Amino acid sequence: MSGLVAAVRDRVSHAGSAAMAGWVGFWFRPQSAYPLGVVRIFFGVITFLWALTLLPELGPLLGPHGVLAQPDRGGPLAWSVLSVFNTDTAVILVWAVLLIAAAALTLGWHSRLAALIVFIAIMSIERRQPWIFNAGDGMMRIESLFLLLAPSGAALSLDQRRTTGSFFNAQERAPWALRLFQIQLSIVYLATVWDKVRGDTWNAGTAVSYSLRIVDLQNFVVPDWLTLNAPLMNLAAWGTLLVELSLGLFVWSRRARPWVLTAGVILHISILVTIAVGFFSFAVFVLYLSFLSPESAGRLADFVRRKLRRRSPPSEPAAAAVAEPVAESVPNTR
């Protein structure tokens, strides 16, 4: 009997040690920071474009003489720059600083500081006028926080060029920051499915038909033969639920990941084309990119580097004989 107890104890101990090792490895086993660099660049680009779309309506939407004269303070912890400085000048300054910081974040120039400024600016703008933004805008705010916490200049950045001599180098870093993006993706989809199935329209298969017929959100008028076709609209609604549930669960499977992410891309492109959802789909694609493998991200970086070298002739004839180092991962020396 004592031998059986000892065997069970050893097996449980071994399983516990393996589980702990897997948990620690999931968060902290060093890997190339190339995927984080790709995430940072894509997020910086969409943030820059997001800021540009605000320019035509800055005053009417965010200024003290616009639709919301006083900022919605939302409680003592809902601080923002524009709740403290409620002036047209402050709105313009916050917008301009956001635009510059987004460009700096894209290029990886003082990445941590740029991410901090982007986070504060996005939070200030969204809290100044919360009624004009959607879930995608809120997701961008969360993603900017993740990049602020992450070593976002550890790959594909001017920070790397300054420290290692090449923009296309990457450090080896613990992937815990990427895990935040990945877990956020699962949370978003699982929470979305749970919220939808507690209602009526998604269960009845009519939600997509209703969405495509909301005039204020139409990018173009979808013909009635499609939106009023019950079998097709049922299939679209229930298929959406299936794709979202699959993304929330099976994105963690290496074998299923390419398939569910491809289905998600098709889903969000169809949403982007038909419904005016702003930057929602692009914010979701930021989360998708966090699942890019270090090997795939490294190959992408090397491809871009080689393309840029071909388009940039050497300034001196002798420079043709000097080859720039290929994109590679370098250990973190900090």
Please indicate, yes or no, whether residues 89 and 222 belong to a single structural domain of this protein: no
In a domain, 310, yes or no: no
Q: Is the pLDDT assigned to residue 333 strictly greater than 50?
A: no
Is it the case that residue 310 has pLDDT exceeding 90? no
Domain region containing 238: 176-277
Residue in the block written with tokens 């009417």: 60
Same domain, residue pair 44 and 165:
yes
- Assess whether 134 and 182 both reside in one domain: no
Q: What is the pLDDT of residues 148-157, one digit of tens each?
A: 999 999 999 9
The first and second tokens of residue 325, run together, are: 């180092």
Burial letters for 282-309: b for 16+ Cβ neighbours within 10 Å, e otherwise?
A: bbbbbbbbbbbebeebbebbeeebeeee
Alpha carbon distance 313, 318 (integer Å): 11
pLDDT bin (cut points 50, 70, 90) of residue 73 is low
If one compares 122 and 74, the residue with the highest pLDDT of the two is 122
**Confidence category of residue 327, pLDDT binned at 50, 70, 90:** very low
Of 149, 174, 199, the position where a domain reaches its end is 174
pLDDT at 79: 79
pLDDT attached to residue 242: 97
pLDDT given for residue 85 in this prediction: 87
Percent of the chain beyond pLDDT 70?
87
Quick one: pLDDT at residue 1?
A: 60
Does residue 319 sit within a domain? Answer: no
Other Cβ atoms closer than 10 A to 58: 17
Report the pLDDT value the prediction gives residue 124, as an integer from 0 to 100. 92
- The pLDDT-based confidence of 71 (bands split at 50, 70, 90) is confident
pLDDT of residue 320: 39
In this prediction, residue 10 has a pLDDT band, given cuts at 50, 70 and 90, of low
- The pLDDT value given to residue 318: 40
- Establish if 285 belongs to a structural domain: no
- For residues 35 and 170, membership in a common domain is answered with yes
pLDDT value at 67 more than 90:
no
Residue 126 lies in a domain: yes
Same domain, 192 and 120: no
Residue 231 burial (10 A CB sphere; 0-12, 13-18, 19+): exposed
The pLDDT of residue 331 is 58
Per-residue model confidence (pLDDT) at position 132: 86
State the chain's mean pLDDT as an integer: 88
Alpha carbon distance 217, 221 (integer Å): 10
163 vs 10, residue with greater confidence:
163
Q: How confident is the model at residue 12 (pLDDT cuts 50, 70, 90)?
A: low
pLDDT for the residue numbered 313:
62
Top-confidence range, 5-9, 69-73, 285-289, 301-305: 285-289
CB count, 10 Å around CB of 66?
A: 16
The answer to whether position 190 is within a domain reads yes
Q: Is the pLDDT reported for residue 321 higher than 70?
A: no
Find out whether 278 and 137 touch, Cβ atoms under 8 Å: yes
What pLDDT does residue 5 have? Answer: 62
Yes or no: say if 326 and 189 are a contact pair by the CB < 8 Å rule: no
5: tokens are: 């107890």
The least confident of 39-43, 217-221, 269-273 is 217-221
Q: How many domains does the chain have?
A: 2
- Domain limit, last residue, from 277, 294, 319: 277
Same domain, 132 and 214: no
Phi-psi region at 43: left, alpha or beta (left = phi > 0; alpha = psi -120 to 50): alpha
Determine, yes or no, domain membership for 300. no
Residue 156 and residue 181 in one domain: no
- Among residues 127, 148, 174, which one ends one of the domains? 174
Residue partners of 296: CB distance under 8 A and separation at least 6: none
Give the CA distances from residue 121 to residues 81, 98, 170, 313, in Å, rounded to whole numbers and listed in that order: 8, 6, 28, 39
- Average pLDDT of the residues in 135-141: 94
Query: Do both 112 and 227 map to the same domain?
Result: no
Q: Per-residue pLDDT tens for 223-247?
A: 999 999 999 999 999 999 999 999 9
pTM across the whole model:
0.88
